[in-house]
Structure 1
């Protein structure tokens, strides 16, 4: 998402932001926005996940719509 306040500065040599309200800035704009946000929200430390024993998995329900979707996929429907 692009900063809608539009802090663009063509004279300083920095890239010009899209016009306020223009959310279609392109892939380069999105990558730049993500790079700036990554510094503010660091990823949590990774923790090793443990497998769940099958005996603890109960009451798994799948909607009929999802079943039809999977049946239509050659990898799963056969």
Structure 2
């Protein structure tokens, strides 16, 4: 399936829009490198330290029902 809006040279909306964003992403695909293999190992909880969350961010998340309840 081909979407001609994806490759349009100028966005239809002044601020871009979804079609413009999709077109930008489609043009960037050749520039994105995919690692051959992602190595992820568990991290010991004792090594996780120094994480701080600004008070405003914590309040914002607390006020969101998806995160705070």
TM-score (norm 1): 0.51
For structure 1, which runs of at least 5 residues remain unmatched after alignment?
Answer: 1-14
Compare the two structures and name the one with the higher helix fraction: 2
CA–CA distance in structure 1, aligned partners of residues 59 and 66 of structure 2: 13
For structure 2, which runs of at least 5 residues remain unmatched after alignment?
Answer: 1-6
Q: What's the secondary structure of 1:17's corresponding residue? A: coil
Q: What's the secondary structure of 1:38's corresponding residue? A: helix
Q: CA deviation at 1:71?
A: 1.4
Q: CA deviation at 1:30?
A: 4.3
Runs of 4+ in structure 1 deviating by more than 4 angstroms, as ranges, are none
Larger-Rg structure: 1
Structural RMSD (CA):
3.0
TM-score (norm 2): 0.55
The number of residues matched between the two structures is: 61
